[in-house]
Structure 1
Amino acid sequence: MDGQKNRLSKGSVVYQIFLRSFTLDGTLAAAEQLLPHIASLGVDVVYLCPVVLADGDERREFWSERQRQSGMENPKNPYRLSDYFAIDPEYGTDEDLRNFVRTAHQCKLRVLLDLVYFHCGPAARCLEEHPDFVKRDENGNPVNGRWHFPQLNFDNPELREYLWSNMEYFLREFDVDGYRCDVSGAVPLDFWEEGRRRMERWKPASLLLAESESTPVEDQKSAFDANYSFAFSFLLNDILKGEKTAEEFWTMWEEHPLYHEPGLCFLRCFDNHDIASDNYDARPERNGRNAMVDAALAVLFTMNGVPFLYNGQEVADGRRHSLFSNRFTGKNLVVDWARGLTPAGEGRMQLIRELVQLRRDSRALQSGEVVEVDNSTPKQVLSYLRRTPEESLLVAVNLSAAPAETEFSVPGVKERATLPPGGWIVQSL
């Protein structure tokens, strides 16, 4: 990246906290108490879903389809904002955020906030003084985007200055370490590039993550440290649901050649606030496929890119989560932390710690090339090499619910393995 002073480490692990479902209280203060636990997993970056004031407008024409269908009857969508500078009382106070960041830093965790700059709420406070901050049609009505929220107008230089000052504000006043940028591809790239320059005046080592995978080569030149990998996430979920097989991974891989472009960085996940909220019945933990989830985690930590864990994934949580439920409205849907005391939860936490250490001990797993390896059971087993000039590792993961007796075709080497459902190996060659 041109001018980038500190990229997201290839040894990093990102953990997403969605406050509404993270604890029974749903607050920053309650989440702060769990930061030592998160750090104990080997995580080094925590990303918070939006904590600024959400728009409580009750007009349903300004609710997203997901919001209406959730049945929670909560007008406050955390991704439909009213005030970009005010902490929502639902989550706490300014001092609560400062305390959260301070404790995170003591635990050697960097903290990212969520920027939602594609759209705002219909009753956003800034629109009272700046009605031209949103796009308008020929009749002067706001132009609503994909989720029925007014789209921000990036042709307006005053809006840009307002949002750049917002990016600077949380770095300066709260000592956060950067941002995850919601729907980043719908915002002009030159806005993010200038925002990055301004961020670095306050914190040269700040991070910026893009929720987009459409233009990672351009994104990562001077704006972003990493992009999301949606096709990767969706395919892993389809495999976990039994709708696709491991064999289809390489088809996806070839259709997205930038996934293995040297120098580019992608976040790797198969669960997050969107997936957990929209696909409750299909969540693998809910359907008793814990071994399959273990296998998918092995892929996240041995494939190139940066692993991205979600809210309670480390205790094999399978409860329903919802973007639109909190302790005031709808059902209070929270992580089942008691799962951490069960064999499944204890095993999951141990697995994540082992995977973190395995990856941090291996340069090949952090930054080596990915080479497809043929095997005799391709519908079940995903196999590949991670390779640098100094180290070569064979990785094999059984992504099926049946045992696999398989042979690998590695140049100059013949290997055989018996993998139980969800079983995996990492072997030096």
Structure 2
Amino acid sequence: MSYELSEQLDQIVLHTGNYTLGWSTDSGALVHLQRHGSPNVLGHGPAIAGVDVALSGPANWITAKTFARYLWHRVSADENQVVMTVFVGLGPLKIFDHYRIACDAITRWIEIENVSGDDLRLYGVRLIVPHARVGTSARCRFEAPGNSVRPRLPLEIAATQDRNVLPRRFFAPGLRGGSAFEPAPTQGAGVMALYDNELPLTLLCWYAGDDEAALPYVQGHCDTVSLAYEVAVTGWLRSDQRLAAGPQHIVLTTQPWPAALAIYRALTPLPQPPAAWLRDAVLYVADLRQHGGADGLCTRLPELATLGVDTLCLLPWHPVGERPHLIGDLERIDPACGDESELHHLIATAHHHGMRVLLDVAMQGCAPDSRYLSEHPEWFARDDAGAFAIGIPPDAPAAARHPGVALPPGGYHFDWTRSDWRLYWQQWVIEHIDRFALDGLRIVSPYNAAPAWIRRPPLRASAGTALMAQAVNEIAALRPHVAILCTLSGPRSAQFASGWFDYPSHHMLIHLAMRRITPAEWCAYQADYAELYPATYRIGFLEMHDTADCNPLADGLRGSRLAQALWAVMLLSGLTPAIWNGQETADRDLLPRLLALWRREPALRHGAIEWQALGAIPADVLAIRRTLGERSLVGVVNLGALPCRFIATQRLGADVLGLFPISRERRGMGEELRLSAFGVYCFEG
């Protein structure tokens, strides 16, 4: 690939076939990025570093005490790409900041070298794209699909965000773990974007590291935002030793939003296709202890089969701690769950009813009364002083503090860098698959393994995260007939899982119920989310084993009219339904009819989606059209607590649900519909 390189007073400028890039000769940060014929989108603010590192503690970022210094640069090329390396001095570190430019995509990764004479303790890395704005500030929009960020967000709102201040509700309707963003690529895609569709021009940025997750964030300044990723890399860095982090992808394209997300999909291939059966499934997640054991749930199987359930997900039946996924003893069956013969009978009966049976497999941690703490203390993560890592370790980076990784007080973290622990865990899982004729697993895993600070070169303290995924991948290879679902919902999960429980959508669904987002915003959120991954990966739910921790209101909605409306929104939006432990007993009216309609109408499961399909409708009303071949259905949900009416300009057929009162009257070229409060309807198109 041909290029031209020039040195100006304040920048090193690189011209390639598609891009012009510039790096500051002060800080070494990327401060200029433009496509030929389009405006520059970076560097619209005061100089800041493009890389930062935390040493000696998770809050001790080097740039808070000293400046990043540009040292020199190096460029190389072949017929397919140009690689620019910018060398930056950062306190006791030398940073090798690499940029690979190949056609439309820029791939960035860094190497960190300890040039001091002492060993250094590393607590995190930040990769920053400084002061971005696309087009005019009035027209520029910020997007972060698959997070808690409100869609179609004006740049002026994103620019008010501060890394050290909790986001306000007009930026994110609600937070998870104190953040509007999901760690990537574990729980989220990590995509952040700025665009001006009138140009059109879109700046995409995301993090795709295999070793550690990164927590995205934005830092606003005037009418710009810096796009950043805080990578949860931890470990000892010896003198003259190097450590790599990345990659981060940066793309500037003339495609409008959300069509530009096709570039993300092309650069983020999902190795594991979604399970073919998952799109048609109805899941039931059960804790045997709450059903009187295996025999108690067995007596309910005919009722669940009539409801449409075809997949059982069973929480662990071994002894657990206060929470169902804190391991007590893998070798025993909790008497509250029954005995081995009762478990065999439950699974055989479920198979007789045509149900798959999946077992929850915990990877999060250990209960404080577990025998493993005394019998195998070497299996547990330790801090640098040698003490057990319990709950949320005080030295954990931000991405490791997010819900799903943070154990409850008293929970002990396993050290996944220990090959003997991984082998024991894998053998236990495989033995249970074979012994109980299981059809699949639901992997309940943390976003990041807790740092294991006992020095073990060449592994770094955060190496356990990648080894967890490797352990599950090896099980999938040994038992390829076994279906694997996951409680994470990012692209890394697709390495081993053929479907995942969609926590980001659950979170936004509850905020739809709380009127923190509108039906139109829910539709925009889901439309963007569908551009990231095939919708068939995603399982929707209103309650789950941990919603009391991360979304307490979800459990309080059970059986309400609002919960009925949310079930309808979830199914109409194409999410595979998962029922949690007794929800079906609280809603004996709408839920059975919705699930019967889901089973009866392939258009609801496989049809194309048209969001807000009826044109100008009231703010509290959601309308989704599902079309498959000649069959068209229009779902209409009134999420308001009062009746409402509007004129549908498109012809609608009969209401196939027939559960809520409705009045219809011709009005000129349209039809006036009068909907009940929290009314749910499904019209033939």
More helix as a share of residues: 1
> Is 2:288 the partner of 1:11?
no
> Which residue in 2 is equivalent to 1:40?
306
Structure 1 segments of 4 or more deviating over 6 A? 409-413
> Which residue in 1 is equivalent to 2:635?
395
How far 1:11 moved relative to its partner?
0.7
Q: Counterparts of 1:408 and 1:260 in 2: how far apart (Å)?
A: 31
After TM superposition, the score normalised by the length of structure 2 is 0.49
Greater relative contact order structure (CA < 8 Å, 6+ sep): 1
- Report if the CA contact (8 A) 2:312-2:355 is conserved: yes
> Which residue in 1 is equivalent to 2:41?
none
- Report if the CA contact (8 A) 1:359-1:366 is conserved: yes
Q: Of 250, 258, 274, which aligns to 2:523?
A: 250
- Report if the CA contact (8 A) 2:362-2:445 is conserved: yes
How far 1:275 moved relative to its partner?
3.2
Q: Counterparts of 1:142 and 1:408 in 2: how far apart (Å)?
A: 62
Q: Of 597, 607, 611, which aligns to 1:368?
A: 607
> Which residue in 1 is equivalent to 2:346?
100
User: After alignment, is 379-388 or 162-171 more displaced?
Assistant: 379-388
Deviations 1:21-78 (A, max 9, x none): 3x3xx322222211121111111011122221124xxxxxxxxxxxxxxxxxxxx432
> Is 2:435 the partner of 1:166?
no
Deviations 1:124-169 (A, max 9, x none): 3234343221111222211124223111111112222112112212
**3-state DSSP of counterpart to 1:379:** coil
Q: Counterparts of 1:8 and 1:143 in 2: how far apart (Å)?
A: 40
> Which residue in 1 is equivalent to 2:544?
272
- Alignment coverage as a number of residue pairs: 367
Q: Counterparts of 2:531 and 2:472 in 1: how far apart (Å)?
A: 26
Deviations 1:89-135 (A, max 9, x none): 22222222212111111121111221111211234323434322111
> Is 2:654 the partner of 1:385?
no
Q: Counterparts of 1:140 and 1:87 in 2: how far apart (Å)?
A: 32
Distance 1:30 1:244, change over 3 A: same
**3-state DSSP of counterpart to 2:381:** coil
> Is 2:358 the partner of 1:84?
no
> Which residue in 1 is equivalent to 2:493?
219
How far 1:388 moved relative to its partner?
4.0
Counterpart code for 2:642: A
**3-state DSSP of counterpart to 2:312:** strand
How far 1:184 moved relative to its partner?
4.5
> Is 2:580 the partner of 1:306?
no
Q: Counterparts of 1:193 and 1:305 in 2: how far apart (Å)?
A: 28
> Which residue in 1 is equivalent to 2:472?
195
Distance 1:250 1:4, change over 3 A: closer
Q: Counterparts of 2:572 and 2:646 in 1: how far apart (Å)?
A: 19
Deviations 1:160-219 (A, max 9, x none): 2112112212111111222222234335366445535534644x4322221122x2x332
> Which residue in 2 is equivalent to 1:297?
567
How far 1:355 moved relative to its partner?
2.3
How far 1:10 moved relative to its partner?
0.7
- Report if the CA contact (8 A) 1:259-1:266 is conserved: no
> Which residue in 1 is equivalent to 2:437?
175
How far 1:6 moved relative to its partner?
5.0
**3-state DSSP of counterpart to 1:365:** helix
Counterpart code for 1:424: V
Deviations 1:274-331 (A, max 9, x none): 3368737972346xx3x32222222222221210112222221xxxxxxxxxxxxxxx
Deviations 1:376-408 (A, max 9, x none): 444321112223455443221112222221245
How far 1:242 moved relative to its partner?
5.5
**3-state DSSP of counterpart to 1:400:** coil
- Report if the CA contact (8 A) 2:643-2:676 is conserved: yes
Distance 1:356 1:281, change over 3 A: closer
Distance 1:416 1:13, change over 3 A: farther
> Which residue in 2 is equivalent to 1:49?
315
Q: Counterparts of 1:91 and 1:282 in 2: how far apart (Å)?
A: 23
Counterpart code for 1:19: L
**3-state DSSP of counterpart to 2:337:** coil
Q: Counterparts of 2:272 and 2:325 in 1: how far apart (Å)?
A: 31
Q: Counterparts of 2:351 and 2:521 in 1: how far apart (Å)?
A: 41
User: After alignment, is 409-418 or 141-150 more displaced?
Assistant: 409-418
**3-state DSSP of counterpart to 1:396:** strand
> Which residue in 2 is equivalent to 1:321?
none
Structure 1: tracts of 5 or more residues without a match: 56-75, 317-344
**3-state DSSP of counterpart to 1:97:** helix
Distance 1:199 1:102, change over 3 A: farther
Aligned-pair identity (%): 23
User: After alignment, is 172-181 or 369-378 more displaced?
Assistant: 369-378
Q: Counterparts of 1:108 and 1:51 in 2: how far apart (Å)?
A: 22
Counterpart code for 2:488: S
Q: Of 529, 533, 553, which aligns to 1:261?
A: 533
User: After alignment, is 407-416 or 396-405 more displaced?
Assistant: 407-416
**3-state DSSP of counterpart to 2:280:** coil
How far 1:411 moved relative to its partner?
11
- Report if the CA contact (8 A) 1:386-1:392 is conserved: yes
Counterpart code for 1:218: R
Q: CA RMSD in A?
A: 3.1
Counterpart code for 1:358: L
Distance 1:231 1:107, change over 3 A: same
Query: What pairs with 1:126-145 in structure 2 (closer than 5 Å)?
Result: 126-144=372-390, 145=392
> Which residue in 2 is equivalent to 1:236?
509
Q: Of 434, 444, 448, which aligns to 1:186?
A: 448
Q: Of 481, 484, 500, which aligns to 1:205?
A: 481
Q: Counterparts of 2:377 and 2:273 in 1: how far apart (Å)?
A: 35
Q: Counterparts of 1:45 and 1:373 in 2: how far apart (Å)?
A: 31
- Report if the CA contact (8 A) 1:112-1:176 is conserved: yes
**3-state DSSP of counterpart to 1:366:** helix
Q: Counterparts of 1:410 and 1:218 in 2: how far apart (Å)?
A: 42
Larger radius of gyration: 2
> Is 2:427 the partner of 1:427?
no
Q: Counterparts of 2:272 and 2:512 in 1: how far apart (Å)?
A: 39
**3-state DSSP of counterpart to 1:405:** strand
Counterpart code for 2:472: G
Distance 1:125 1:408, change over 3 A: farther
Q: Counterparts of 2:534 and 2:571 in 1: how far apart (Å)?
A: 18
More strand as a share of residues: 2
Deviations 1:347-401 (A, max 9, x none): 2xxx333323322333332123332125444432111222345544322111222
Counterpart code for 1:126: Y
- Report if the CA contact (8 A) 1:167-1:195 is conserved: no
Counterpart code for 1:227: W
**3-state DSSP of counterpart to 2:365:** coil
